[in-house]
Structure 1
Amino acid sequence: MPLQPSSWKRMVPMVVGTVAIVIGLWTNLAFAKDPFRTSNPHPISANTEAAFRAVFELGNYPEAGRVLQQPDANEPLSYALKAAIAFLSVDTKALRNNDPVALKNLDDFKLNGTQTREVAEKLLATDPLRGNLYLAVGHFLEGAYAITSLGTVAGLPTALSKLELVQKYLGQAEAINRNDPELSLIKGYMDLLLAVNLPFSNPDDAIARLTQYAAPRYLAYRGIAIAYRDLKQFDKALDAVNQTLKDNPNNPEVLYLKAQIFYQQGNYPQALALFDQALTKKDQLPPGVVRTLTRERDKTARKLAQSAPQPSPTPTATPQPSPQ
């Protein structure tokens, strides 16, 4: 069944965010050069590692952007992260009015998405699994650009052709090692997005892949929490996001996710507290994320006010007749 325009558009920020999440796995290199695998580690540049720490230990996108002003020319993850930051900075309303800043962010998204694919092509010779994996990511980013720049109707043919290539290269990566932790994380996220956006799709296989093979665990749990949130299985979503918060207690995006789950559960006091906690770090987040977070926070405050018990009216005293 073909992916509908609205579904593709909903997938874009999540999959771009997934790319950023995968990049964030490359932390704590003092103990292991490859947190995905216990053998055959893959090296990465110090600049890219610093950007990963900024995004996923602190949730600090501006700092990551500063670090990545000079990306690693041989690492597709560097360009994928730059693409993620650019995409999350695009103001779609301003884009419709040809705002220069919005146009520049969109151009940066296109450039870095293409560079993700081009660097991945070079990586095929030395690391075919990761080369194919990030070829898939690069083609997805280029499809997302088509939808964002042209609109869902005009951009859909390009996006669907890119989606076919995404599936092709993911399949080639799977043929090398289906249970690879890095592959399992990215494909698990993509499969979950398809499952929650397409009718008659079953997310169980994607959740099982994240549960069994994806690493590290806090990022696998984050994806599972998103899936259960969208499937409206809120108790399971809270269990998963709490596992993520054990390792990311101050990440504003994870606090935001937990707030969304509480909101959908109808727990407005807890949701409002977490929205406010996430907003204390709003300077670390892309402007578009802050706008959405603020809008959801204000909606929660209104819901909470509406659900508050109203005071009973004070009974009016019955006037007594005057003595004669």
Structure 2
Amino acid sequence: MHRTSRWTQCKRVIGAGSLALALAVWAPAALAADPFRTGSEARPIGPALQMAFEDFFKNGNYLNAGEKLDVAQRQNPDEPLVYGLQAAIAYQNGQVDRLLALAQKTREVAQAMNGKDPARSHLYLGIAQGLEISTFYLKDGILALPRMLTYVPAMFGEFKTAREKSPDDPEINLFVGYIDTLLTKHDEAIKEFRKAAPNYLSYRGQALAWRDKKNYEEALAMVDQALAAAPTNPDLSYLKGQILALYSKPAEAVAHFDRAIYQGNQLPESTRKQILRERDAQARLAGDLYTPLPSVTVTPQP
């Protein structure tokens, strides 16, 4: 029982660290759309970062996102979101040294922006702390839990300060919402997500929180709204499949797992294997004969 509790605690810390991750051409930077804010509150970002963000979160295409982030780093060298997204990819690839270097760079850039943008400075200082926590897990697994836990208060302290400085900021609310979800503070998370942006991440977060509350009808309603905003994102199809599986609708779950798998090379291999395992279980419950899907890239259809 104690071991299970420690592993659950470890997974939540890892999730918080990972979330803290875990958000072209060689041309001069130009203004592009801030994915979180509009009007006078929008921050200036380059086109490569905007496209990388959408590839990462809206399209679920991590390969394309990584290529654009290399350009974004040159266009926006003082934007911590660039290094946070690069770190998320390094974590997916198990690149411990690169992840640590990007955590340190995220902290450096976040500290430098404290004078002009203190709320985002504290947000990304917390994210940098989470990135370092993730390196401990990649190195030592669950054995790193005691060391990881010593970093958690400082990480949460930075998030708290960011929220106090700008309680209605959509970016801060988005990150805090996902952290609250990982900590099973579902009602608080839903409130945060409703004040977050962009909409496809807000709806996805609400779907996760409702799923964990076991309110599957609300979870499906939210994931459907997320899919309406980002119809080709395989992570959203995967999430809908999981919700349907929990809702005891195995045949429908299989259809959405299939849709996610058909995104092909767009997904990390570890994710594809996990989806296949879950599809297998639901196919058996539905009374279907499981047939492995071919590993091919198919043009996604909305």
Normalised by the length of structure 2, the TM-score is 0.83
The alpha-carbon distance between structure 1 residues 34 and 254, as it changes in their structure 2 partners (threshold 3 A), is closer
Which stretch of structure 1 is more off in the superposition, 293-302 or 250-259?
293-302
Partner of 1:6: 8
In structure 2, the CA distance between the partners of 1:128 and 1:69, relative to structure 1 (3 Å rule), is same
User: Per-residue deviation at 1:306?
Assistant: 7.1
- Distance, in Å, in 2 between the alignment partners of 1:254 and 1:33 is 22
Partner of 1:210: 193
How far the C-alpha of 1:163 sits from its partner, in A, is: 0.9
Are the counterparts in 2 of residues 35 and 215 from structure 1 also a CA contact under 8 Å?
Answer: yes
Task: Write the letter of the residue equivalent to 2:236.
Answer: V
- Which of 142, 152, 157 aligns to 1:163? It is 152
The aligned residue for residue 313 of structure 1 is: none
Q: Does 1:144 align with 2:104?
A: no
Deviation at 1:9, TM superposition (A): 2.0
Q: 2:157 and 2:182 mapped to 1: Cα distance?
A: 17
Which stretch shifts more, 276-285 or 106-115?
Answer: 106-115
| Offset, 1:271 | 0.6
Decide which structure has the larger Cα Rg and report it: 1
Could you tell me how far apart the structure 1 residues matched to 2:117 and 2:204 are? 27
Superposed counterparts of 1:127-206, under 5 Å = 127-153=117-143, 155-195=144-184, 202-206=185-189
The aligned runs of 1:72-91 (5 Å cut-off) are 72-90=76-94
Runs of 4+ in structure 1 deviating by more than 6 angstroms, as ranges, are none
SS of match in other structure, 2:40: coil
User: What residue identity is the alignment partner of 2:11?
Assistant: K
> What's the TM-score, normalizing by structure 1?
0.78
> 2:237 aligned to 255, 260, 278, which one?
255
User: Gaps spanning 5+ residues in structure 1: where?
Assistant: 22-28, 91-104, 196-201, 308-324
Structure 1 residues 13-53: Cα deviation after superposition (integer angstroms, max 9, x where no partner): 576357464xxxxxxx75x4454243232111222122112
Q: Which runs of 5+ in 2 are unaligned?
A: 24-30, 290-302
- 1:1-324 pair list within 5 angstroms: 4-10=6-12, 12-13=14-15, 16-17=18-19, 19=21, 21=23, 32-33=33-34, 35-70=36-71, 71=73, 72-90=76-94, 105-153=95-143, 155-195=144-184, 202-211=185-194, 213-305=195-287
- Measured at CA, do residues 34 and 8 of structure 1 come closer, stay the same or move farther in structure 2, by a change above 3 Å? same
In structure 2, relative to structure 1, the CA distance for the partners of 1:187 and 1:142 (3 Å cut) is same
Work out the percentage of aligned pairs sharing the same amino acid. 36
**How far has the Cα of 1:157 moved from its partner?**
2.8
Query: Residue 9 of structure 1 contacts residue 144 of structure 1 at CA under 8 Å; is this kept in 2?
Result: no
